[in-house]
């Protein structure tokens, strides 16, 4: 399990300073049974010039036989915006240098990815339209194409989390 190690409420201006000089780490917990968990371990994954390392998520990449950890960070202050970065790991101790995973003309944050029948579905918040965009690809490393969906009509939401229900239907929490 991974999490953000940043508490914006401990900062004098909350969001402002957090986006410019916030965390570079993710928190990692490990468990063999989802009941008993390891002690929290902080791991530096972001670039040194990143302002924040927010909303980390993990997905297993069958093609590369490793885990892709991805999160939102802001770099290039004054002209930059939030992008989704990614790093790869096999053991959650050693990580590849991070690189940009999703970059758009506007801020993009809060991303979740699920795999179903060999297709990866990616849900990301577009900070300009304040809606969730859905995209799909046959590879985590491939080009994703935007899927036309009713999600673009739902505004003012974030934090997409997609899961399959026991009856086979899919549910997207926002």
**What is the block-wise mean pLDDT of the chain (174 residues), using blocks of 10 residues?**
81 70 88 96 90 91 96 77 94 95 88 96 90 94 92 87 96 94
Token digits for 120?
């990866």
Model pTM? 0.90
Q: What does the alpha-carbon distance between residue 12 and residue 18 come to, in Å, rounded to a whole number? A: 9
Contact 53, 22 (CB under 8 A): yes
* ∠ CA 100-106-107, rounded to 5°: 65
Question: pLDDT at position 75, please?
Answer: 81
Question: pLDDT at position 78, please?
Answer: 58
Q: What does the alpha-carbon distance between residue 131 and residue 174 come to, in Å, rounded to a whole number? A: 10
74 to 18, 70, 103: CA distances (angstroms): 10, 13, 11
Q: What average pLDDT is seen over the chain?
A: 90
Question: pLDDT at position 149, please?
Answer: 86
């Amino acid at each position: 399990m991974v999490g953000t190690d940043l508490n914006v409420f401990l900062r004098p201006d909350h969001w402002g300073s957090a986006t410019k000089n916030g965390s570079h780490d993710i928190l990692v917990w490990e468990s063999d049974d989802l009941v008993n968990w390891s002690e929290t371990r902080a791991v530096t994954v972001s670039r040194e010039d990143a302002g924040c390392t927010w909303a980390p998520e993990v997905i297993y990449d069958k093609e590369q036989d490793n885990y892709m950890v991805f999160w939102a960070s802001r770099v290039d202050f004054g002209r930059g915006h939030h992008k989704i970065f990614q790093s790869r790991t096999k053991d959650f101790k050693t990580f590849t240098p991070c690189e940009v995973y999703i970059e758009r003309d506007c801020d993009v944050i809060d991303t979740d990815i699920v795999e179903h029948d060999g297709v990866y579905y990616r849900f990301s918040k577009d900070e300009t339209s304040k809606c969730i965009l859905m995209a799909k690809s046959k590879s985590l490393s491939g080009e994703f194409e935007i899927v036309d969906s009713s999600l673009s009509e739902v505004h003012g939401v974030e934090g997409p989390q997609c899961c399959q229900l026991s009856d086979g239907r899919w549910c997207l929490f926002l």
